[in-house]
Amino acid sequence: MSTTAAQLRSRLPRVSPRAAQAAVQRARLTVVPRVRSRAPRVPFVTLISMLLLGGVIGLLLFNTSMQQASFQATALERQASDLGARQEALELDLQGLREPARIAQAAQRQGMVIPATAGVLDLGSGKVTGDAAAADGEPLPISPPAPTRPEVLAPVTVQESPKQGERGERRRDGRDGEPAAGR
């Protein structure tokens, strides 16, 4: 083994003792005081707290605005429903006012009668065409006849069926048409 160590030593370059001494001095370890460099925690905690607080406040404001929009939509739907019902009622009233029978009765109350023949007035020339004749003054019957009910819808009369003892059938106890006694 010593031969191997000698061979290894012979391969190493020769260094002067002074250079060796300087290398040893440089290689010595010394205790260096640790420098503590921590980021300050207060600004970071403040930033995170502000972000959380802003998020909560933002969610509350968003929720409040959504509820207000919902209430407004409900009120508008109710108003639209009321206006739709009012429009339908007004259309029914208008339809009743436009009925021909009602218009004819109002005309007769004002003294109007239906002429036998009618003439046509040409507004451009002012001439009457057709056979215009004066009305005789007799009011026509306006009220329509009452509607007739189809036979399919005629009421059906229901007859009561005779009770079992009244049909004259023979009963189990041997009597004809009499109710059983003791039951």
Q: Which residues of 25-60 are buried (b: 16+ CB within 10 A; e: fewer)?
A: eeeeeeeeeeeeeeeeeeeeeeeeeeeeeeeeeeee
Encoded amino acid at 103, one letter: I
pTM: 0.39
Q: For residue range 144-176, list pLDDT tens digits in order.
A: 666 776 776 666 666 676 665 555 555 555 555
Q: What is the helix, strand, coil percentage profile of the chain, to 5?
A: 50, 5, 45
C-alpha neighbours within 13 Å on the C-beta side of residue 27: 6
Average pLDDT over residues 107-134: 84
Average pLDDT over residues 137-149: 68
